[in-house]
Structure 1
Amino acid sequence: MATPHTHADSSDGPRSTLTSQLEHLLASSPIAEEAIARDLEEDESEVEEESSSEEGSDASTVRQYSMIHSYRRPSYVNPGARSTAIFSSSVPEHGYLSKKEREHCREEERSLLRDNQLLPPKHPRRGSEGAGGIARKLSVGALRKVRSAADEESAGERTALLGGDPSLPYGGLDTPRNLQKTWDAAVAAGKITTTWQREAKVLTKSSAPLILTFLLQYSLPVASIFSVGHIGRIELGAVSLATMTASITGFAVYQGLATALDTLCAQAYGSGRPHLVGLQFQRMLWFLWVITIPIAVIWSFGTQILNLIVPEKETAHLAGLYLKILIAGAPGYAAFEAGKRYVQAQGLFSATMYTLLIGAPLNALLNYLLVWRVGWGFVGAPIAVAITENILPLLLFLYVRFIDGYQCWGGFDRRALKNWVPMIKLALPGLVMVLAEFLAFEILTLSSSWIGPIELAAQSVLGSITGITFQIPFPMSVAASTRVANLIGATLAVPAKTAAKVAFVFAVFIGCLNMLLLSTLRNYIPRLFTPDPEVITEVANLLPLCAAFQLFDALACNCNGVLRGLGRQEIGGYVGLFAYYVVGLPISFGTGFGAKWGLYGLWAGPAIGLATVALIEGLFIWKTSWERAVEDAHRRNIEA
């Protein structure tokens, strides 16, 4: 049976394409299959496999041209000041989809068939109502109604030819069997097309909840910068340095290792034994808690380590203090990262969003109360973060226990303390890739500390600002990647190309909007982060440069999304390595320290790197054969 080909769904522009490429390899790795098989052999419980009565014998069939053929479950992480993110696909190789997911794919098929007049309308048409008045009859709107009436009449003739009961939605012809037959015939005949309006609607609808989720999660570190930044420039630089250190030595470690669950939990869910999802979650949770021990040791010696790297001793001392307090939140952070993948393997993507809808405002409130109202000052910020990181997994647990997701929990299992080798084999490569991505951008914060405390504080503000603006084009690239990949998987080359064009237009619009906002508000935005006049001046002088590469940032992000949809994410990996490690970082060091341009020179590197990514990948996509992409996807699906 042909099963869906698993590949990375999205990444943080070129920064995370490497990880997405890695996860593509992980998802098809025999290591994961071996791990699941071993768990199944040891499983003594009898679990009845569920089947959908609606789908009958078609429940386990993946059709050649179906949208189901390309459906993915994306999961994400969102650490660091730059919001490095990883979206991965985790459809089990068994081709299993839940009833809800399968219905989502069928709805896509219904919608496209309806738009191409191959299926009757969803809602029965009612008689058109007349309009009185010469002016209204001769108006542009009236002329459009005349044209629309003609189209409806034509559509009505087609509906009549299609048959069915016109009083029922879709004429009553949207049964699974008839839908399958109509869809396969239409795709084979090349009758499925799409429009710019439709793809714009799909892109907007898909990206809106993602934007909200990413903004909420990104607000967690930004809240500390907001609250501490008004204390002083030293404190502002220290919180940025501490966040960067925590990301590289701790958060990125948790996130990279947890990527193994994107494969293991999904395959366990697809095996028909849902309680194995809970077993894999427990296994990773214990593993991450063991890893917390060396992380805590590193953070406890943060002051001594940073003193060897950072010239400003007071900044290093405060950053080390921040890291020591943050140790209390590390176990909760690890639990939340593992828990996210537990629920996402079941297709419960709203669980994380609802959790953050409570956790993010709570984090902001705690920062305000502890830093200012209680009067704890700088130490109040890491305490607020540590409390929030422990509350988030508790909120997620409450969602699972009382709303949805508890069906995959089989209770605590001793088997979680063994069979770690396959999991570690999958986790370690992910760790290496995530750390490589972090270093490419977080190194700017470390480098700015060698220029001066003002520049370090300004770097903290600039990193936060550009991180916030990035939360719009990145989720849109995720939606574009999913849409293009699904259409490619359904062998719809021309609609996929149309979807990519719409995504590029959206990227240009968002990039220009961010550019306009940063340029016009460059003298006001820094005041939200700090009252220090020198830091405000430094940030205001650099914001035009940050504004200039917003367009390149959005375009590069979108290009990577389209490449992942085409199944060519390795191109983004190679381009990312070249653009950031060969072009961007050398230019940053050369202009920042060699030419003595300071922070302006350090930010010139990423700007040129993003432009390089957008140019190279844009040319590659322009030259891409979409028909060949369909053939490649079809071949991979057969071989999967």
Structure 2
Amino acid sequence: MAPAAGAVAGRKNWSAECRNMWRVAGPVILTEIFQFMLGFVTAAFVGHIGKIELAAVSIVNGVVEGLAFGLLLGMGSALETLCGQAVSAGQLQMLGVYMHRSWIICLSTSLVLLPLYVFTSPILRLLRRSAAISAVSGRYARWCVPQLFAYAVNFPIQKFYQAQSRAWVMTAISGAVLGVHTLLDWLVVARLGRGLVGAAVVGNVSWWLLNATQFVYVVGGSFPEAWTGFSRKAFASLGGFVRLSIASAVMLCLEMWYYTAVLILVGCLKNPEIQVGAISICMNYQLWTLMVAVGFNAAVSIRVSNELGANHPKAAKFSVVVATSTSATIGLIFTAVALAARKQIPRLFTDDDILVKETAKLGYLLAATIFLNSIQPVLSGVAIGAGWQSLVAFVNIACYYLVGLPLAAVFGFNLKLNATGIWVGVLIGTVLQTVILFVILVRTKWQKEAMLAEERIRVWGGGDVELPHVQETRRTRR
């Protein structure tokens, strides 16, 4: 009877943890889709203006805003560590302070990124883009400057919501704003013919409407303990907060830019048009599957930070197991679809038979990448929840940029394997990174992580006393 009772208890624990995980992952996935669709809808309307305008919007969205988006999202991800641990430690009053600190850091980062928007045109000309596309891209980027600062405000608010399991509110607001955005694009771009400037203004309005609605919900009394107004405490302990934010940004950006490097390398091949097109089609399909993994990334980071903050190390470890298993199972489904439909998926994007054939050849590599990317973001989420951003940043540099990309260059250019060789090299880097993160997880002492979480809450919460057992933990880890 005892083993049977244990099995029942295990199933109940697994079921309860799955519900906790999906309570965050589900709305985060939908929010990612809704906010991604803001740029997609803009590109769809601009595409009817002309090819140069569509190319300009694609470059600004994919390169300029992609760079800013990644950096600011990474900076804001520091809140996943701190807010999640503070919630379970009963320090709700610190959440508003943490969000305020993150706004200060993200807005300061936006000022640093501002020249990228202002000088988009000359930068693109230095990169040998056509004069016409460079000029149009530069004009569009300058009109999109308000969106840069909107990102800086949005990401900290998102983490504030997620840490308190209010992600569905964020999803509802994002869905409503997407509807308004689509209507405004139709009115301003399609009906009134305001062109690129009109599209940029609509984007600005939509992102700031998103921020304003989320902020009104915060200050309207929905978070009475977590938000008590702006505080001078936000300016205390900024040094440590900045270091964690930078580590989060570096960790995330190294991952986001890794597959961007694939497109850059493939573009350097001889006669790259077909191969770039094939890689782009694969990346588009992969992007949609990655949104699910991103949801689990956020969910596991919150669950781990919550349990560590509450001094429940075994529960934190169990959350990692459930999240990894669930995301990997969903990844297997997407992998099976990629393998079974590797000749049909390309036809969703093109009618060119040669391009369809080349894309189908990459189907096996796409399937392997999708499966790995159903696990790797979850492991990164664990790192964020536990506060290991600096460690994982070094792992990413070593695996991605010292192993993966050099191998990709050797396979693609020296061995003349072209796009297939480049992707194989990149895949090897991802496998290595995933294996190393698994080893780190297996060797993790979760009780020590819970003690360090307590220290982080005390020090960054405004305290200046370090507990004796935390000091001992630091000495042991060294």
TM-score between both structures, scaled by the size of structure 2: 0.71
SS in 2 for 1:195: helix
1:199 alignment counterpart: 14
Aligned residues: CA RMSD: 4.7
**Structure 2 residue runs without a partner (length 5+):** 455-466, 471-478
The answer on whether the counterparts of 1:281 and 1:339 sit within 8 Å (CA) in structure 2 is yes
Supply the distance in 1 between the matched residues of 2:188 and 2:342 (Cα, whole angstroms).
30
Match of 1:467 in 2: 287
Partners of 2:306 and 2:152 in 1: CA distance: 32
Match of 1:490 in 2: 312
How far, CA to CA, are the matches of 2:258 and 2:352 in structure 1? 29
Partner AA of 2:14 in structure 1? E
Per-residue Cα deviation, 1:451-482 (whole angstroms, up to 9, x for no partner): 55665565554433212101223433554566
The alignment covers a number of residue pairs equal to: 447
Aligned pairs for 1:43-82 (under 5 A) are none
Residue of structure 1 in register with 2:206 after alignment: 388
Pairwise CA distance, 1:226? 5.1
The answer to whether the 8 A contact 2:81-2:301 is kept is no
* Deviations, residues 69-114 of structure 1 (Å, cap 9, x unaligned): xxxxxxxxxxxxxxxxxxxxxxxxxxxxxxxxxxxxxxxxxxxxxx
**Residue equivalent to 1:607:** 427
**Which range moves more in the overlay, 285-294 or 572-581?**
285-294
Residue 320 of structure 1 aligns with an amino acid whose one-letter code is: G
Measured in 2, the distance between the counterparts of 1:420 and 1:307 equals 42
Distance 1:401 1:481, change over 3 A: closer
Task: For 1:369 and 1:534, locate their aligned partners in 2 and report how far apart those are by CA, in whole Å.
Answer: 38
Deviation at 1:305, TM superposition (A): 0.3
2:178 counterpart of 1:360: yes
| CA pair 209-283 structure 1, distance change in 2 beyond 3 A | closer
Residue 298 of structure 1 pairs with residue 116 of structure 2: yes
Distance 1:458 1:634, change over 3 A: closer
Q: Look up the match of 2:143.
A: 325
User: Is 1:586 aligned to residue 406 of structure 2?
Assistant: yes
CA 1:345 to 1:360, structure 2 compared with 1: closer, same or farther past 3 Å?
same
One-letter amino acid of the counterpart of residue 440, structure 1: Y
Amino acid at match of 2:120: G
8 Å CA contact 1:549–1:607 kept in 2: the answer is: yes
**Do the aligned residues in 2 keep the contact of 1:230 with 1:530 (CA within 8 Å)?**
no
Match runs of 1:74-473 below 5 Å: 194-196=9-11, 198-200=13-15, 202-203=17-18, 206-207=21-22, 208-224=26-42, 238-247=56-65, 249-259=67-77, 274=93, 281=99, 285=103, 288-289=106-107, 291-343=109-161, 348-367=166-185, 372=190, 375=193, 382-402=200-220, 404-405=222-223, 422=239, 424=242, 427-450=245-268, 460-473=280-293
After superposition, the Cα gap between the structure-2 partners of 1:358 and 1:296, relative to the gap in structure 1 and judged at 3 Å, is same
In structure 2, distance between residues paired with 1:417 and 1:486: 22
Q: Is the 8 A contact 1:285 1:334 kept in 2?
A: yes
- How far, CA to CA, are the matches of 2:349 and 2:332 in structure 1? 24
- Asked if the contact 1:225–1:529 (Cα under 8 Å) also holds between the matched residues in 2, the reply is no
Q: SS of the residue aligned with 1:583?
A: helix
The alignment-based identity, stated in percent, is: 25
Deviation at 1:299, TM superposition (A): 1.0
Structure 1 residue 353 displacement after superposition? 2.4
Q: Distance in 2 between matches of 1:284 and 1:483?
A: 21
Instruction: Write the letter of the residue equivalent to 2:335.
Output: M
Give the superposition deviation at 1:587: 2.5
SS in 1 for 2:445: helix
Partner of residue 445, structure 2: 629
Q: Distance in 1 between matches of 2:379 and 2:76?
A: 26
Aligned mates of 1:289, 1:557 — CA distance in 2: 26
Per mean C-alpha deviation after superposition, the further-off stretch among 287-296 and 604-613 is 287-296
Task: Quote how far apart the aligned CAs of 1:396 are.
Answer: 0.7
Higher helix content, 1 or 2: 2
Is 1:517–2:340 an aligned residue pair? no
TM-score by length of 1: 0.56
Corresponding residue of 1:476: 296
Task: Note if contact 1:240-1:457 (Cα within 8 Å) is conserved in structure 2.
Answer: no
Give the letter aligned to residue 18 of structure 2: L
Letter aligned with residue 376 of structure 2 = A
Alpha-carbon distance between aligned partners in 1 of 2:53 and 2:65, rounded to the nearest angstrom: 18
Going from structure 1 to structure 2, the CA distance change for 1:393 and 1:609 (only over 3 Å counts) comes to: same
Distance 1:471 1:484 in 2: 20
Question: How much does 1:289 deviate?
Answer: 4.3
CA–CA distance in structure 2, aligned partners of residues 232 and 542 of structure 1: 31
In the TM superposition, residue 361 of structure 1 has moved relative to its aligned partner by: 3.8
CA contact (8 A) 1:282 1:416 kept: no
AA of the residue aligned to 2:217: Y
Distance 1:216 1:399, change over 3 A: same
AA paired with 1:217? Q
